[in-house]
Amino acid sequence: MDLSLIALFLGLGMLVALAMGIWVAVALLGVALAAMIALVSVPAGPVMATTIWGAANSWDLTALPMFIWMGEILFRSRLSEDMFAGLSPWMRNLPGRLLHVNILGCGIFAAVSGSSAATTATIGRMSLPELKQRGYDERIAIGTLAGSGTLGLLIPPSIILIVYGAATEQSIARLFMAGVLPGAMLCVLFMGYVAFWSLLNRSKMPPREDAIPFLERLKATRRLFPVIGLIVGVIGSIYAGLASPTEAAAIGVTLSLLLSWGSGTLTRKSFVDALMGATRTSCMIAFILAGAAFLTVAMGYTGIPRELASWIGAMNLSPYALLIALTLFFVVLGCFLDGISVVVLTTSVILPMVEQAGLDLIWFGIYLVLVVEMSQITPPVGFNLFVLQGMTGRNIFSVARMALPFFLLMILAVVLIVAFPGLALWLPQSMLSN
Amino acid sequence: MRKALNSLYQASTALAACCLVVIASLVVFQVMGRVFDGARKLFGLEPLGLQVPSLAEIAGFLLVGASFLALAGTLRNGDHIRVSILLQAVPSSVGRFLNVLAVAVTCTLASYFAWHAGWLAFDSYSYNETSYGIIPIPLVYPQIVMTLGLMVFSVSLFDDLVQILTGGEPSFEAVVEDDPIEGKE
């Protein structure tokens, strides 16, 4: 049988397996196994065991559970309250006022947590009721939160960048640094949009509150200083080359425990809950990575990705045309799959194509995460939508409609990093460990 | 029987969590040792060379333990990701059938994987393979842990298969979600 026909069958098989509700990791393993048995004379079982053993036993990957745990601890601390109380006095006089708390709060929490679900839930728990009580339009409040919650994926530490780094053997430290500026740029885009929106929709904004004197503002913010210290410590030590991501993460866990203890939220129950939550979430991700590692190797044996790459290469597309096609493909895929699955499917099958097109793999990681961020707010499958549905009781389609402007802003951000790759690449190139 | 199985899953997941705690502690010790040595250097003293030997490898092995031992507990808590649009859209009888199919496929694959992981461990044992670090660790130990994790996972899947086929609800659908961020990215 022709290789392209087999590739088509395998692709369809994967989609059918996923649609039937087979767990993502299992679908990856199953398709990889089917490809090996059908196409290759190498014994599939031993290759499966050896590959997954090699992929699962990794120092770099150890950063994954550590950062997840850190997010779980902080999610259970007082950070949610402190963030609202500390940020809101500064935002009162900007156009868009307290809506900016959602965006900046998410940006700050994203810098201690690698997950967009944790970011959305932590910030929203406090800000949604507060904004509602003060008479802000609920639709824009939920929309800003849905959009800026996705920053958790891009601003380091980022779970999905660890997944990408582990799957493509790129430096996680460099990927983290590459995410900083694009993340900050997204924050600025979101805040600009909110300011603009509030000027156009004055009728939907509540009456202005009095400004608070500078010293009082500082006093209200003082509880945020430990978090800012945590951010500077974790990201700064990676940037300066003082610590590997795993080390920074383990120190981050310790400091988060101290912070949680200091604010009186560290109990036996919260400790155990956070630890068990982190254990299960990281197990889920490690299982998917195991499936992806085997799929990558199986695909390598079959030669399908190479064929695909040379087929695309023969079309002589410009990198821009390729990126437009890929973006459309990912957005559609992202409507039905979670971000991590999109990333691992990409790395197993289309990475040779990306290399063939001459794209930098660190840059491509940031591009991919930006596109995956969009998938967090596209129905019917989008984790931020699920979290917000749980918090507000609105169904995911109406949450998605409120988040639509932010989806469009993310497309703008993708265009910007394609036009100015330096946005992603400048910081990793200037890292002190070079 | 029910009680014994549940304790098996819980014990396995708890061990996985312990692996994470040990990783974090070892890494923190390592960093503290480095900071302490740095401080000694500042005062013109000889650095003691404090470090946890072979940390990178040990942490990797513990990560294998954490990932594989938690498989069953993660399944039963409904935290493994699946696309559930179709499952929610179809009538419940079809949904049951899809669940049986998913669990049966997964159980077969997990057992197959456990079998080959077992052989991998056996080979490492018979060829006496160890890690390359300062402390040579026989690879058979972490590989046995991986195999055990996969075996517990297979048992829990078989448990769920029996559960659905006898008219019950699978464990992963009976979960009351109390943590909005768990199992999400």
* CB contact B63 to A (< 8 Å): yes
Flag whether residue B66 sits within 8 Å of chain A, measured between CB atoms. yes
Query: What are the tens digits of pLDDT across the range B38-74?
Result: 888 888 888 777 788 889 999 999 999 999 999 999 9
CA angle A243, A246, A252 (to 5 degrees): 80
This model's pTM is above 0.90:
yes
Partner A contacted by B32 (CB < 8 A) = no
d(CA A224, CA A226): 6
Q: Which amino acid is at B17?
A: A
Closest in A250, A282, A387 to B180, CB measured: A387
Closest chain A residue to the Cα of B21, Cα to Cα: A275
d(CA B165, nearest CA chain A) in Å: 17
pLDDT of residue A159: 93
**Residue A92 CA to its chain's centroid (Å):** 29
| Closest B-chain CA to A30 | B109
- Which residue does chain B place closest to A294, by CA atoms? B113
Shortest Cα–Cα distance, A22 to chain B (Å): 5
**pLDDT at residue A30, rounded to an integer:** 96
**What residues contact A10, with CB distance under 8 A and at least 6 apart?**
A31, A34, A35, A304
- Hey, what are B101's tokens? 């199919």
pLDDT band, residue A1 (cuts 50/70/90): low
Q: Could you tell me how far CA A236 lies from the centroid of its own chain?
A: 20
Is 90 exceeded by the pLDDT of residue A41?
A: no
From A423, A363, A297, A306, select the one nearest A29 (Cα to Cα).
A297
Distance from the A393 Cα atom to the nearest Cα atom in chain B, whole angstroms: 13
- Closest-CA residue of chain B to A116: B185
Q: Based on the number of CB atoms within 10 Å of its own CB, is B45 exposed (0-12), middle (13-18) or buried (19 or more)?
A: exposed
* B137: nearest Cα among B16, B54, B18, B63: B54
Chain B residues within an 8 Å CB radius of A18: 82-83
A58, A280, A383, best to mutate vs chain B, most B CBs in 10 Å: A280
The overall average pLDDT reported for chain A is 91
Q: What is the mean pLDDT of chain B?
A: 92
What's the pLDDT at A130? 92
List chain A residues with CB under 8 Å of B31.
243, 247, 250-251
**Do the Cβ atoms of B113 and A48 come within 8 Å?**
yes
List b or e across A30-50, with b for residues whose CB sees 16 or more CB atoms inside 10 angstroms: bbbbbbbeebeeeebbebbbb
Q: Is B131 on the interface with A (CB under 8 A)?
A: no
Residue of chain A whose Cα is closest to the Cα of B62 = A57
Contact B67 A159 (CB under 8 A): no
CA A36 to chain centre: 32
pLDDT at residue A249 is higher than 60: yes
B183 in contact with A, Cβ within 8 Å: yes
Cβ-proximal residues to A338 (8 Å cutoff; 6+ apart), any chain: A24, A375, A381, A383, B81, B184, B185
pLDDT of residue A433: 56
Residue B179 has pLDDT above 90, yes or no: no
Mutate to test the interface with A, among B9, B51, B184 (most CBs of A within 10 A): B184
Q: Which amino acid is at A421?
A: P
Q: pLDDT of A398-421, one tens digit each?
A: 999 999 999 999 999 999 999 999
* pLDDT confidence bin for A214, thresholds 50/70/90: confident
Partner-chain contact A118 B30, CB within 8 Å:
no
Chain B residue with CA closest to A33: the answer is: B109
Q: Do B185 and A339 touch (CB under 8 A)?
A: yes
CB-CB under 8 Å, B115 with A290:
no
Whether A19 and B86 lie within 8 Å, measured CB to CB: yes
Please give the interface size between A and B, counted as residue pairs whose CB atoms are below 8 Å apart. Answer: 218
Nearest residue on chain A to B69, judged by CA atoms?
A283
pLDDT band at A432 (very low <50, low <70, confident <90, very high): low
B171 contact A CB<8A = no
Q: Which residues of A touch B120 (CB under 8 A)?
A: 46, 49-50, 53
Mean pLDDT of A95-121: 92
Whether A383 sits inside 8 A of B184 (CB atoms) is yes
Closest by Cβ to B82, choosing from A21, A249, A275: A21
DSSP string, A84-99: HHHHHHHHTTSTTTTH
